[in-house]
Structure 1
Amino acid sequence: MVIRTADLFSVATSGLRASNQLLDTTGHNIANVNTEGFVRERTTFATQVIGGVGRATTERIINVFAQNQLRRDTTSVGEHEAYYNRASTLDDLFASEANSISNSMSRFFGSLQTASDEPTNMAARQLVLGEANSLVGQIGTLAGFLEAKEKEFNLEMESLIERANTLIENIADLNGQIRTLKANNRFDEPGAVMNERDQAVMELAELLSIETRENGTGDGSLMINLTSGESLVLEDGSFNLFQLGGNPDLNYKSLMLDSTGKPTALRLAETDVGGTIGGLFRYRDEILEPAQRELGQIALSLTAAMNEQNRLGMDFDLQLGGDIFGLPTFSGLPYQDNADTSLVMNGRVAPDGASSLTSADYQITIDAVNPGAPNQVDITVTLLNPDGTQVEDASGNPITQSYTNIEATAGVFSPVLGGIEVEFPNGASYTAGDQFLLQPTKETADEIEVVMTRPEDLALASPFRVDSDLANTGDVQLVSTTVTNTTVDGTLTDPDASAFDGAGGLVAGTPARIVFNSATEFEVFDEANNSLVVVTGVTDYNNMMAQAAAAAGWPFGGLNDFPGYDFSMQGTPKVGDSFTIAYNTDGVNDNRNALELADLQNRDIMSSSNSSSANQITFHEGYANIVSDIGEKTSRADIALQAAEAMKKQSSDWFDSISGVNLDEEAANLVRFQQTYAASARILTAAQTIFDTILNSTR
């Protein structure tokens, strides 16, 4: 049997205090119904053995599982929303007809087709240059927009990282306050401070994918880690902060974590951190950076191919063609660990690099330095993705190539893989292990310019012709001609030399005439009627110069692509039939090279990816790939965002059903607690009446 020793007055007084505290808690809940992050509170009491109401305990009503699910879904929405919003901006840009460079390319090649119809029409030639300027301007506008988006990304990322660091510091500070308050009052939770901390954690979860766990000591503090395992808020109250860096590209921000008590920063996998920050990094690496490079690849491949083909033709002044477009030289970015970061190396698109150029970056590693006359270096070239990982071929192997004895002299460019040439102007000053990063296609698209100003300089004609002798009795006819090399070297000591002398003629001693000795044999003579080679076993008359170069006794075997032209015939020759090969003097009405220039839009010239072994595609297909790739990723991001928002709505409803303030419930509690307060007051009144009666009876 329990013996209660409390008097009626004490019981009533404790009841009044309890009801008043319940009314305070209910009023507090109602007053904060619209306060973001507020978790409703509940006050409970213990019954005293001696009678009356015991000590009160006020705590928050919260389901940790619902809270964690809401936090995870908030992270997911933050990531997909950041990704989709930025991706949709680029999708709108590239899908717009007004911004499309595909239309500009079509107009440019259309003007070339018009010029090929009338190669002597100066107005048609001038239109080609006008459309070239328009095309370059359109590419530059797109490239400038993408560059502005990169700067915008970096500014936004700096702001988000600053916000994340502020939240981390705030959470660590609130942990300290909670520890102190709980130590001073172990019966009441510091609800306001804990709500503030939970709200800060939720805001941090929107920025990053995090996990939380309570300190095992029961002091109310939370430890926070990234889901990848790195600690942000530690058990001892310390914390780690984020920072941004870039090596060697200062504009390509890397995410790092400054670890407490350690001198170095920990590099994080940016696309794995989740939340708004992870979504933005994914957008940069999956859409923005590839789009920059693929646009640059189209611009450089197209203009380089036009230059190559124009150099293979003859202009209106009967001279070999020159460059239509001026292509930029790009500087290698030195890595921070280089022995001397002031040293430079440069690159440019190779004269014949249009079809080999990729959208990849190029990492150049100095393997050895060989001082001498001239100075030389051994290097390794590795293709990199925008995020710094190595590009792999179809078999999964990194695409890399080593080169030895590369001349390290200012002004000397040496070809490497991927359609570029590299220059090492600092001679023997480099150190083994030094690395440089070349980004040919990232920021060069808006640096291309039209350098040709005279319409006469368009090389619409072919620089050579083949004429049949009037005395020929066979029916062999010329069906096609090709020019592959116009490199000028009258001494023929350059292995890349052609038969063109650069002065409106062919080099002396080179092929000038072919004579059929039979249907299966022809002989090649120079301009002085000296026999150069006899070709036997002829089965067809395609690529006559290639057949001559493959025959025994060809006197130009040390040259790579000689004479630089070729032609094919069909029909049946008679003995003695001859054909003269000559420079195309007075051939201003010739449009053979104009047709080749116009046909570049239909040729598979450009690499389809950042792999040097990828399939070749047309320029229009290259641009279509950019548009479709961005559109596909934007569409998938939209679907993912809608799914994430639906999940967040469910988890938010679940969390609010437990921790949110329900006004109907609180109103009912208010009535109930008012009644208990009134009842306790009646008990107190009764106790007073009894006490007064007892006093009066003793008088």
Structure 2
Amino acid sequence: MIPTKNDLSRNASLFSIARSGVDASNQLLRTTGHNIANVNTEGYVRERTTFQSQATGGVGQGSTERIINTFAQNQLRRDTTLHSEFETYHQKTSVLDNVFASESNSISKSMSRFFGSMQTSADDPTSIAARQLVLGEAQSLMGQISTVTGFLREKEQELNIEVTTNINKVNSLITSIGELNEAIRINQSNNIFDEPGTLKNQRDNAILELSSLLSIETRVDPTDTGGLLVNLTSGESLVLQDGSLNLFEVNNDADQNYKSLRLSSSGKPTTLNLKETNLGGTIGGLFRYRDEVLETSRRELGQIALAVTESLNTQNRLGMDFDGQLGSNIFTLPDITGLEHPDNVGTVGVVTGRITQGAAGQITSADYEVTVNSITPGAPPTLDVTVAAINPDGSAVLDVNGNPISQNYPVLEAAGGTFTPVIGGLELEFSAGAAYTAGDKYILQPTKNSADRIEVTMTRPEDLALASPIHAEGDINNLGDAKVISTKVTNTFIDNTFADSRASGFNNAGGIHGPGASPTGGGGVGAPAEILFTAADTYQVLDSAGSVIATVTGTTDFNNMLAQAEASGAGPAWPAAFSALDDYPGYDLSIQGVPKAGDSFSISFNTDGLNDNRNALVLSDLQNQNIMQLNNSGSGEPVSFHEAYANTVSDIGQKSASANISLQAAEALKTQSKDWFDSVSGVSLDEEAANLVRFQQSYSAAARLLGTAQDLFNTILGVVR
């Protein structure tokens, strides 16, 4: 009997069945061995080989693939991003927190010592040793501020290096992912049955490392070639479908030390600016630390330094020194050079700024952007400029109503040596005249780089103006019980030509203006030198020659009597030439009690007033005055120097503590997602050991089947013979 075709197929397939079983078991053993060998390999994803049976019998073609849960993998990447961001932010912030909270670095203690020495000098204004102590403590205060400011500058340089290093790492990872995508495409096109696990593990590791640097998302290439497209969570692509790459570049704006980022596509002219604080990961943490902590504290410290020194300068100028001269500056404040915007068209033009004298209370921690709108030639030329308050990142500073803080100056004189007051306690000089270009912009940073450039220029202790330059007292023959309770000096600027509107009633010869020397000119009255009561509620203001300057009637309030005379409409009225100046004569007095007709009170320069400590008391009390703006918008109630510094220290401490809490939460989330991912994709030695026994047994059984098939074949051959 001749066997049928089906019978021959079944008999012949016994060898193929046995052989396929051996091959399949061998492949399963190789996969298990590969898993066991890589149990300690970082980022390795365990693999599994699966088979399908053949219709004619035996095992069909097997395929090896990685066991991975995409949801767990994506969650791990997100939690890695979050953990890296808070870890970086907390590490950096805690360093600043330790510096500002340290007693050895406390600027508040240095300020207290300085003002304490000022109080000591007020107790004995004739003591040269006490005055010298004031200058020594001033040097110590500036040295302490300079030390902390220098530390913050070093931290900015260190941060810029870290940013550049991490950006280079990002670029390298993006390139690697693109190259691995291409390698995976080629491998899968050549081998459709086995997944290129090693290549995909390398790509996943690169993507996980990238997620520690940036917040990213991945999606499968829609062409289904095995590639992965990578983009930022904000939408910008990093690895594109066509294989081209978007590379990060560090882009500098007007401030060369303030790094910003942009995406640039290789081979294409496309560039995109990025919001640095939204990047996430290590890079996002670095930028958050820079913008929220480092730059903020640096500017706030500069604001405190400028406000303290300008307040002391202003008050010392309002006093009289040991030599009987009007006071001068204790500190020299630096000029601020405007930074040119990189898009400026003009190549000529410098904008210089400085703190306006007496404007300590207007200084904020904001930067200022100056935009040249138009130029009008002339003698001198004028500019139309807009000055806007901006944050360190270039965004507008908003007022309490949510509106950008800016001011337009349509006719601003542009000439060297001419400074014009603008917002924020600044005054600007446009020395290039008509050479500016419309549309050009300049950035001024009055508080960022100024604190360690302030110098104590007063070297003689005698130059401390501890006395008041004005002396007022009642006549010995007064009948009433009214007494002088206070004098006030608000302006000592000397300009006997009165070309400058800041001119005061003081001359440069240790006195006040007499008739003919005041703004009223020849034949006019002099500066106020006497108060004469003609009735209990009526008084005249007289000059040194006894001429009536103004009359005040119907008053029972004797505070700031010269200010009342200027506001009074009674004849004769306050001279218009006095009112035309900013603050003339720059002094005033107040009395208390009940005056009688004929009572008089003289006002004169405080000649030989060496024992006078009135200005010293005001100087030492500046630390208790609320004259500082608390924020960069200048809104809210002013605070004292100590309160402003305490606010800076507590703000850094609060951010450090908050970051620590967030870091602990992020660590817990990352651990949880890592455990979830490993439970699916990690290698379990117990499971692999069980598989090893099972696959070894199947290999032995398949081999025995192969031997049985060989025996049957030999038996058939023997029968035929």
Tell whether 2:542 aligns with 1:542.
Answer: no
**Aligned residue runs from structure 1 range 158-169, under 5 A:** 158-169=164-175
Which of 447, 451, 456 is matched with 1:445 structurally?
451
Q: Aligned-pair distance for 1:691?
A: 3.3
2-side partners of 1:502 and 1:78: how far apart?
65
From 601, 624, 627, the equivalent of 1:602 is: 624
Between the aligned partners of 2:628 and 2:373, the Cα distance in structure 1 is 31
Which amino acid in the other structure matches residue 510 of structure 1? Answer: A
Counterpart-to-counterpart distance in 1, 2:84 and 2:422: 43
Cα distance in structure 1, aligned partners of 2:347 and 2:66: 58
Contact 1:101 1:135 in 2 (8 A): yes
Q: Which amino acid aligns with 1:124?
A: A
Deviation at 1:634, TM superposition (A): 1.1
1:259 aligns with 2:265: yes
Output aligned runs, 1:369-408, within 5 Å.
369-408=375-414
| 1:141 aligned onto 2:144 | no
Shift of 1:261: 4.8
In the aligned structure 2, how far is the partner of 1:262 from the partner of 1:691? Answer: 69
Distance 2:697 2:682 in 1: 25
Change (3 A) 1:682 1:103: same
Name the CA distance, whole Å, in 2 between partners of 1:435 and 1:528: 55
Distance 1:468 1:213, change over 3 A: same
- What secondary structure is seen at the aligned counterpart in 1 of 2:598? coil
Structure 1 position 432, deviation (Å): 1.4
Structure 1's unaligned 5+ residue stretches are none
Query: What is the total number of aligned residue pairs between the two structures?
Result: 699
Match in the other structure for 1:634: 656
- Tell me the distance in 1 between the aligned counterparts of 2:35 and 2:547: 108
Contact 2:108–2:642 under 8 Å retained in 1:
yes
Q: Does the aligned pair in 2 maintain the 1:79–1:277 contact within 8 Å?
A: yes
Structure 2 residue 73 is matched with structure 1 residue 67: yes
2:696 equivalent to 1:674: yes
3-state SS of the aligned residue for 1:606?
Answer: coil
Measured after TM superposition, the shift of residue 342 of structure 1 is 4.3
Corresponding residue for residue 657 of structure 1: 679
1:554 aligns with 2:574: yes
- On the 8 A contact 1:515/1:578 being kept in 2, the answer is yes
1:36 aligns with 2:10: no
Distance in 2, matches of 1:133 and 1:35, equals 60
Alignment of 1:505-520 (within 5 A): 505-508=511-514, 509-520=526-537
- The 5 Å alignment of 1:267-416 reads 267-416=273-422
Equivalent position SS for 1:480: strand
- The 5 A counterparts of 1:606-617 are 606-617=628-639
- d(CA) in 1 for partners of 2:593 and 2:214? 75
> What is the CA deviation profile of residues 440-478 of structure 1, one whole-angstrom value per residue up to 9, with x for unaligned ones?
000111101100000000000000110211111111001
For 2:529, the aligned partner's letter is A
- Equivalent residue in structure 2 for 1:528, among 542, 545, 549: 545
2:669 maps to 647
Look up the match of 1:581.
603
- Report whether the alignment pairs 1:459 with 2:475: no
Distance 1:502 1:649 in 2: 76
Instruction: Give the match's secondary structure for 1:157.
Output: helix
* Shift of residue 529, structure 1, vs aligned partner: 1.4
Question: What is the distance in 2 between the residues matched to 1:679 and 1:435?
Answer: 84
Does the CA contact (< 8 Å) of 2:318 and 2:490 recur in 1? Answer: yes
- Alignment check: 8 A CA contact 2:244 2:265 kept: no
Q: Identity over the aligned pairs, expressed in percent?
A: 60
Tell me which residue corresponds to 1:91.
97
| CA displacement 1:482-519 (0-9 Å, x = unmatched) | 11110112234432211111321111111111110011
- Does residue 82 (structure 1) correspond to residue 104 (structure 2)? The answer is no
**2:493 equivalent among 482, 487, 494:** 487
Asked if the contact 1:6/1:50 (under 8 Å) is kept, the reply is: no
**In 2, Cα distance between the equivalents of 1:456 and 1:212?**
72
In structure 2, what is the Cα distance between the partners aligned to 1:391 and 1:641?
30
The answer to whether the Cα contact below 8 Å between 1:532 and 1:554 also exists between their aligned partners in 2 is yes
Structure 2: distance between partners of 1:19 and 1:620: 79
1:460 and 1:263 map into 2 onto residues whose CA distance is: 66
* Contact preservation (8 Å) 2:416, 2:432: yes
Secondary structure of the corresponding residue to residue 272 of structure 2: strand
CA contact (8 A) 2:152 2:298 kept: yes
Deviation at 1:259, TM superposition (A): 2.9
Question: Structure 1: which amino acid aligns with 2:689?
Answer: A
Q: CA deviation at 1:696?
A: 4.4
Say which SS state the counterpart of residue 609 (structure 1) adopts: coil
Is residue 5–residue 51 contact of structure 1 (8 Å, CA) maintained in 2? no
**Alignment correspondent of 2:523:** none
The amino acid of 2:675's aligned partner reads D
Is the Cα–Cα contact under 8 Å of residues 77 and 644 in structure 1 kept in the other structure?
yes
C-alpha displacement at 1:537, in angstroms?
1.5
221-230 or 529-538, which moves further after superposition?
A: 529-538
Taking the aligned partners of 2:30 and 2:345, their CA distance within structure 1 comes to 70
Query: Per-residue deviation at 1:260?
Result: 4.4
Give the deviation of 1:112 after TM superposition: 0.3
* Whole-angstrom CA distance in 2 between matches of 1:14 and 1:613: 82
Equivalent in the alignment of 2:520: none
Q: Give the whole-Å Cα distance in 2 for the aligned partners of 1:277 and 1:648.
A: 18
In 1, the alpha carbon distance for the partners of 2:354 and 2:500 equals: 21
Deviation at 1:7, TM superposition (A): 3.2
Q: What is the CA-CA distance between 1:557 and the residue it aligns to?
A: 2.0
Q: 1:350 to 1:6 in 2, by over 3 A?
A: farther
The structural deviation recorded for 1:640 is: 1.0
Conserved in 2, the CA contact under 8 Å of 1:334 and 1:341?
A: no
Residue 245 of structure 2 corresponds to residue 228 of structure 1: no
- Specify the SS of the correspondent of 1:306: helix
- Distance between the aligned counterparts of 1:550 and 1:621, measured in 2? 36
RMSD over equivalenced CA pairs, Å? 1.4
Deviations 1:70-107 (A, max 9, x none): 11111111111111111111111111111110000000
Cα shift at 1:693 = 3.8
Letter in 1 for 2:541: V
> 1:43-75: CA deviations, max 9, x gaps?
011111111111110000011111111111111
TM-score scaled to structure 1, two decimals? 0.98
Tell me whether 1:25 sits opposite 2:31 in the alignment. yes
The offset of 1:695, in angstroms, is 4.0
SS of match in other structure, 2:202: helix
Q: AA paired with 1:516?
A: F
Q: 1:5 to 1:566 in 2, by over 3 A?
A: farther
Letter in 2 for 1:476: A
Q: Give the counterpart letter for 2:167 in structure 1.
A: I
Q: Does 1:214 align with 2:220?
A: yes
Residue 691 in 1 paired to residue 713 in 2?
A: yes
Amino acid in structure 1 at the alignment position of 2:664: Q
The answer to whether the 8 A contact 1:6-1:52 is kept is no
Q: Following the alignment from structure 2 to structure 1, what is the Cα–Cα distance between the partners of residues 407 and 170?
A: 42
Q: What secondary structure does 1:98 align onto?
A: helix
In the alignment, the residues of structure 2 paired with residue 5 and residue 436 of structure 1 have an alpha-carbon distance, to the nearest angstrom, of 92
Give, in whole Å, the separation in 1 of the partners of 2:79 and 2:494: 67
Q: Which deviations, in whole Å up to 9, do the C-alpha atoms of 1:92-137 show, x marking residues without a partner? A: 1111111110000000000000000000001100000000000000
CA shift, 1:535, in A, is: 1.2
Q: Any gaps of 5 or more consecutive residues in structure 2?
A: 1-5, 515-525
Residue correspondence of structure 1 range 468-507 to structure 2 within 5 A: 468-507=474-513
Q: Indicate the SS of the match to 2:494.
A: coil
| Residue pair 2:297, 2:648 contacting (<8 A) in 1 also | yes
CA apart distance, 1:657 = 0.5
Cα distance in 2, alignment partners of residues 344 and 514 from structure 1: 51
Cα distance in 1 for partners of 2:497, 2:340 equals 40
CA contact (8 A) 2:348 2:436 kept: no
- Structure 2 vs 1, CA of residues 5 and 414 (structure 1 numbering), >3 Å: closer, same or farther? farther
Equivalent position amino acid for 1:281 in 2? F
